[in-house]
Structure 1
Amino acid sequence: MLESLRNIVQQVNAAKDFGEVLRLIVQLVKEVMDTGMCSVYLYSPSTNSYVLMATDGLNPNSVGKVHLSSREGLVGLVASRAEPINLEEAEAHPNFAFFPETGEERFRSFLGAPIIHHRKVLGVLVVQQQDRRRFDESEESFLVTVSAQLAGVIAHADATGELDQLLNPQQAVIHERIYPGVASAPGVAIGTVVVISSPADLKAVPMRKVSDTDAELALFRHAMEQTKTDIRALDQTMVNKLSEEERALFDVYVRMLDDHSMGGEVLSLIREGFCAQSAWSQVVLGHIRLFKSMQDAYLRERASDVEDLGRRVLAYLQQSEVKRTVFPERMVMIGEELSAASFADVPLENVAAIVSVKGSRNSHMAILGRAIGIPTVMGVIDLPWGRLDGEEVIVDGHTGQVIVSPRDELLQAYTQQIYEEKLLAADLEKLTDKPCVTADGHHVSLWVNTGLRLDSMLSLDRGAEGVGLYRTEIPFLMLDRFPSEEEQRKAYREHLEMFAPRTVTMRTLDIGGDKDLPYFPIEEENPFLGWRGIRICLDHPEIFLVQLRAMMRASEGLNNLSILLPMISNVPELESALQLIYQVYDELTEEEGYQIEMPNVGAMIEVPAAVYQIRELARRVDFLSVGTNDLTQYLLAVDRNNPRVADLYHACHPSVLRALLAISEGARGECTPVSVCGEMAGDPIGAVLLMALGFRVLSMSATNLLKVKAILRQVSLVEATKLLEEVMLMPDADSVWRHMEKALKKPDLAALFRGTAMH
Structure 2
Amino acid sequence: MIDTPTTLNMLDVLRKIVQEVSTARDLHTALSIVVRRVRKAMNTDVCSVYLMDSRQERYVLMNTLGLNAAAVGVASLAPSEGLVGYVGQREEPINLDDAPLHPRFRYLPETGEERYHSFLGVPIIHQRRAMGVLVVQQIERRKFDEGEEAFLVTIAAQLAAVLAHAQLIGSLKITPGQHQEMLRFEGLPASPGAAIGKARVIMPPADLDSVPDRECEDIDEEKVIFLAALKAVRDDIRAVGLKLANRVSAQEQALFDAYIQMLDEDSLGAEVLKHIEEGQWAQGALAFVVKRHVKYLEKVEDSYLRERAADIRDLGRRVLSYLQAGGEAPREYEDNTLLVGEELSPALLGEVPKEKLAGLITVKGSSNSHLAILARAMGIPVVMGLTDLPFAQLEGQLLVLDGYRGQVITHPDELLRRQYEEFIEEDRALSEALEAEAGLPCITRDGHRVPLLLNTGLAADHARALAYGAEGVGLYRTEVQFMMADRFPSELEQVNLYRQQLSAFAPREVIMRTLDIGGDKPLPYFPIEEDNPCLGWRGIRFTLDHPEIFLTQVRAMLRASEGLDNLRILLPMISSVREVEEARALIRRAWVELRQNEGLRIAKPLVGAMIEVPAAIFQIRALSERVDYLSVGSNDLTQYMLAVDRDNPRVARLYSGYHPSVLQVLAKIAADSHAARLPVSICGELAGDPAGAVLLLGMGYQNLSMNLASLPRVKAAIRRVTISQARELLARVLKCASTDQVVGHLSVFMGELGLGWLSGPKS
TM-score by length of 2: 0.76
Task: State yes or no: 1:136 paired with 2:145.
Answer: yes
CA distance in structure 1 between the partners assigned to 2:598 and 2:692 by the alignment: 46
1:364-375 matches, within 5 Å, as 365-375=371-381
Residues 18 and 162 in structure 1, CA contact (< 8 A), matched pair in contact too: no
- Written as runs of structure 1 = structure 2, the 5 A alignment for 1:44-193 is 44-58=53-67, 62-93=71-102, 95-99=104-108, 102=111, 104=113, 107-158=116-167, 160-162=168-170, 165-168=172-175, 170-171=177-178, 174=180, 176-193=182-199
Q: Report the CA distance shift for 1:716/1:107 in structure 2 as closer, same or farther (over 3 A).
A: same
Map 1:197-276; keep pairs closer than 5 Å. Answer: 197=203, 227=212
**2:342 equivalent in structure 1:** 336
How far the C-alpha of 1:380 sits from its partner, in A, is 1.8
- Give the 3-state SS of the residue equivalent to 1:679 in structure 2: coil
From the superposition, tell whether residues 337 and 434 of structure 1 become closer, same or farther in structure 2 (CA, over 3 Å).
same
| Cα drift, residue 613 of structure 1 | 0.7
> 1:176-207 CA distances to partner (integer Å, 9 max, x unpaired)?
5432222232212234444454576699xxxx
Structure 2 gaps, min length 5: 1-9, 219-315
Aligned residue for 1:494? 500
| Residue in 2 that maps onto 1:552 | 558
Match of 1:426 in 2: 432
> Deviations 1:130-173 (Å, cap 9, x if unpaired)?
54443212212222233334434444544x2446x3424544x6
1:41 Cα deviation after fit: 1.6
Residue 462 of structure 1 deviates from its aligned partner by 0.9
The 3 A distance-change label for structure 1 pair 750 and 167 is same
- Do the aligned partners of 1:354 and 1:374 also contact (CA within 8 Å) in 2? yes
Partner of 2:223: none
Give 2:644's aligned residue. 638
Code of the residue aligned with 1:167 in structure 2: it is I
1:650 counterpart = 2:659: no
Checking the alignment, whether the CA contact within 8 Å between 1:366 and 1:376 is kept in structure 2 is yes
Deviations 1:91-121 (A, max 9, x none): 5555444556556466443211122344432
Task: State which of 719, 723, 727 in structure 2 corresponds to 1:721.
Answer: 727
Q: Which residue of 2 aligns with 1:320?
A: 325
Contact 1:472 1:507 in 2 (8 A): yes
Q: Paired residue for 1:281?
A: none
Counterpart code for 1:28: R
Distance 2:517 2:346 in 1: 17
User: What SS does the corresponding residue of 1:383 show, helix, strand or coil?
Assistant: coil
SS in 2 for 1:719: helix
- Tell me, yes or no, if the aligned pair for 1:432 and 1:463 is still in contact at 8 Å: yes
Aligned-partner Cα distance in 1 for 2:443–2:153: 60
Aligned match of 2:265:
none
Aligned to 1:378: 384
CA apart distance, 1:692: 1.4
* Counterpart contact for 1:606–1:631, Cα < 8 Å: yes
CA-CA distance at 1:371 after TM superposition: 3.9
Between the aligned partners of 1:564 and 1:93, the Cα distance in structure 2 is 66
Q: CA deviation at 1:675?
A: 0.5
Instruction: Indicate conservation of the 8 Å contact 2:747/2:756, yes or no.
Output: no
SS at match of 2:687: helix
Which segments of 5 or more consecutive residues in structure 1 lack a partner in the other structure?
A: 204-222, 234-310
Aligned twin of 1:241: none
What is the identity, as a one-letter code, of the residue corresponding to 1:140? E
Which deviates the most, 710-719 or 346-355? Answer: 346-355
Per the TM alignment, residue 483 of structure 1 is displaced from its structure 2 partner at its CA by 4.5
The answer to whether 1:570 aligns with 2:555 is no
Q: Which residue of 1 aligns with 2:239?
A: none
> Which residue does the alignment assign to 2:363?
357
TM-score (norm 1): 0.76
Q: How far apart, in 2, do the equivalents of 1:524 and 1:20 lie?
A: 45
One-letter amino acid of the counterpart of residue 320, structure 1: A
1:500 is aligned with what amino acid?
A: A
In structure 2, C-alpha distance between the alignment counterparts of 1:520 and 1:372, rounded to whole Å: 34
Q: CA RMSD in A?
A: 3.7
Q: 1:683 aligns with which of 677, 680, 689?
A: 689
Name the structure 2 match of 1:299.
none
1:28 is aligned to 2:37? yes
| Alignment-derived partner of residue 588 in structure 2 | 582
1:752 aligns with 2:752: no
CA contact (8 A) 1:357 1:383 kept: yes
Greater Cα offset, 319-328 or 565-574:
319-328
**Which residue of structure 1 lines up, in the alignment, with residue 466 of structure 2?**
460
Q: How many residues align?
A: 656
In the alignment, the residues of structure 1 paired with residue 336 and residue 521 of structure 2 have an alpha-carbon distance, to the nearest angstrom, of 30
Per the TM alignment, residue 503 of structure 1 is displaced from its structure 2 partner at its CA by 1.6
Structure 2 CA distance for partners of 1:188 and 1:666, relative to 1, 3 Å: same
1:742 aligns with 2:751: no
> How far is the alpha carbon of 1:449 from its aligned partner?
1.2
Contact 1:73–1:97 (CA under 8 A) maintained in structure 2: yes
Q: Does structure 2 conserve the Cα–Cα contact (< 8 Å) formed by 1:200 and 1:318?
A: no
**Bigger Cα displacement from structure 2, 716-725 vs 355-364:** 355-364
Shift of 1:711: 2.0
Work out the CA distance in 2 between the residues paired with 1:549 and 1:678. Answer: 27
Q: Deviations over 1:528-572 (max 9, x none)?
A: 333433333334555544443443343344332222222212222
Conservation of the 8 A alpha-carbon contact between 1:449 and 1:470: yes
Q: Kindly indicate whether the alpha-carbon contact (under 8 Å) linking 1:568 and 1:607 is maintained by their aligned counterparts in 2.
A: yes
The answer on whether the counterparts of 1:161 and 1:177 sit within 8 Å (CA) in structure 2 is: no
Q: Deviations over 1:366-424 (max 9, x none)?
A: 44443443222222222112233454433211222213354555444433322222221
Deviation at 1:492, TM superposition (A): 3.0
The answer on 1:602 being equivalent to 2:614 is: no
Q: Does structure 2 conserve the Cα–Cα contact (< 8 Å) formed by 1:182 and 1:360?
A: yes
Alignment check: 8 A CA contact 1:424 1:751 kept: yes
